[in-house]
Amino acid sequence: MTASAHAAHLAQLNVATLRHPFDDPRMAPFVEMLDPVNAAADDAPGFVWRLVEEGAADATGLRPAGEDVIVNLSVWENQEALWDFAYRSGHLEVMRRRREWFERHVEAHLVLWWVPAGHLPTVGEALERLANLQAHGPSPHAFTFASPVSATEAAQHLQPAPSAQPEQAARSARPLPAGGSAAI
pLDDT, one tens digit per residue, over 149-170 is 999 999 887 654 444 333 333 3
Counts of helices then strands in the chain (DSSP H, E): 6, 4
Segment 13-66, tens digit of pLDDT: 999 999 999 899 999 999 999 999 999 999 999 999 999 999 999 999 999 999
**From CA 17, how far away is CA 98, in angstroms rounded?**
10
Neighbours of 174 (CB within 10 A): 6
Average of per-residue pLDDT across 77-105: 88
CB–CB of 39/57 below 8 Å?
A: no
Q: What percent of the chain has pLDDT over 70?
A: 82
**pTM for this structure?**
0.80
Average of per-residue pLDDT across 75-79: 97
Region of poorest pLDDT, from 1-5, 12-16, 106-110, 134-138 = 1-5
The pLDDT-based confidence of 5 (bands split at 50, 70, 90) is low
Model pLDDT, residue 168: 30
Which has more pLDDT, 79 or 97?
79
Model pLDDT, residue 2: 47
**From CA 37, how far away is CA 48, in angstroms rounded?**
15
List CB contacts of 27: < 8 A, sequence separation 6 or more: 18, 20, 21, 101
Average of per-residue pLDDT across 69-80: 96
- Give strand ranges (E) for the chain: 8-17, 47-50, 69-76, 110-116
Average pLDDT of the chain, as a whole number: 83
